[in-house]
Amino acid sequence: MANRPFDVLNEAIGKEVLVILKGEISVRGTLKAFDVHMNILLENAEELRNGELKTKFGKLMIRGDNILFVSP
């Protein structure tokens, strides 16, 4: 049972997550890793605009201070 934010992220490793960034940017991908600064590494990452695919990135590292929320 996850009680802390990092527990939730640990449980989401290997699963698809939705990440909302500053500037109303949405990115979806498989969570591979994260650190204490909330920097995250996604694989098969895609940028979404209005729920539709805009850009495919493959591997993508997102700096934690740009993240508004992560939805597992």
- For residue 63, the 8-state DSSP code is -
- For residue 6, the 8-state DSSP code is H
Query: How much is the pLDDT for 1?
Result: 59
- For residue 10, the 8-state DSSP code is H
pTM of this prediction? Answer: 0.90
Question: What is the tens place of the pLDDT at every residue in 20-72?
Answer: 999 989 999 999 999 999 999 999 999 999 889 999 999 999 999 999 999 99
Q: Which two three-digit tokens encode residue 10?
A: 């640990």
In which domain, by residue range, is 38 found?
A: 5-71
The tally of domains found in the chain comes to 1
Q: Which two three-digit tokens encode residue 4?
A: 């802390």
Q: For position 22, which CATH number holds?
A: 2.30.30.100
Query: How much is the pLDDT for 61?
Result: 97
